[in-house]
Amino acid sequence: MAATIESVEKVVQENYVPEFHYLKYDTTPFQPFTKDLASAKGALITTGGVFLKGEPPFQDNYGLGDPSYREIPSDVDTKKLMHYHEHYDHTNASKDINCIFPIERMRQLAKEGTIGPLAETFYSFMGFVPIAHPLLTRTAPQVARKLKKELVDYVLIAPV
């Protein structure tokens, strides 16, 4: 049976955070994209819990989640990429990191000129964040500020 908002909320409420509900919005911010893709600077964000070998992994905190993020150099050797996230099947990601973080596909598109330059830094979250407040008020705004500082024109997000 396909997962629904109600089914996921029930699992999270019963097992981890009784107060959990998905955030719901009536409106959304929107900025028309007017640049030429061949010259625009792009970045990638995954919620697959990707981190660099040797750096601190994400933590599940007994089901309370982890609102932190990791910076991933866009030219990183993919052999250095690890992933930790208690709440999805890692079988495919363990075989090919591009299933959750298509970094090599982005590099290929940039190399062939389909897209412009890549940001120096890509970002990774661990997408199980049932207590959203620190994500909304601290870590997501931090990442947004860093993307703006690097003059990134667009972001592609791969949720797991």
Partner 1 sequence: MTVTMMKDVALAVKPPRSMYLKFPFGSPMGRPGDVQKQTAVLKAMLDGLITIDTPGMILEPSLSYGGDA
The CB-side HSE value for 3 (13 A sphere, CA atoms) comes to: 7
Interaction of residue 151 with partner 1, rule CB under 8 A: no
Interaction of residue 141 with partner 1, rule CB under 8 A: no
Of 43-72, binders to partner 1 (CB under 8 A) are 48
Nearest-angstrom CA–CA distance, 151 and 104: 22
The amino acid at 132 = A
* 75 Cβ neighbours under 8 A, 6+ residues apart: 107, 120
Q: Smaller CB distance to partner 1: residue 54 or 63?
A: 63
Q: Among 1, 19, 32, 79, which residue sits at the site for partner 1 (rule: CB under 8 A)? A: 32
Joined tokens for residue 92: 């495919």
Neighbours of 135 (CB within 10 A): 19
Interaction of residue 89 with partner 1, rule CB under 8 A: yes
The site map against partner 1 for 91-120 (x = CB under 8 A) is: xxx-xx-xxx-x--xx-xx----xx-----
Pairing assessment for the beta strands 42-46 and 121-125 based on DSSP bridges = parallel
The amino acid at 150 = E
Assign 104 to helix, strand or coil.
helix
Q: Among 18, 25, 54, 77, which residue sits at the site for partner 1 (rule: CB under 8 A)? A: 25
Interaction of residue 22 with partner 1, rule CB under 8 A: yes
Interaction of residue 10 with partner 1, rule CB under 8 A: no
Interaction of residue 88 with partner 1, rule CB under 8 A: yes
Point out which residues bind partner 1 (CB under 8 A). 3-5, 8, 22-33, 37, 48, 88-93, 95-96, 98-100, 102, 105-106, 108-109, 114-115, 154-160
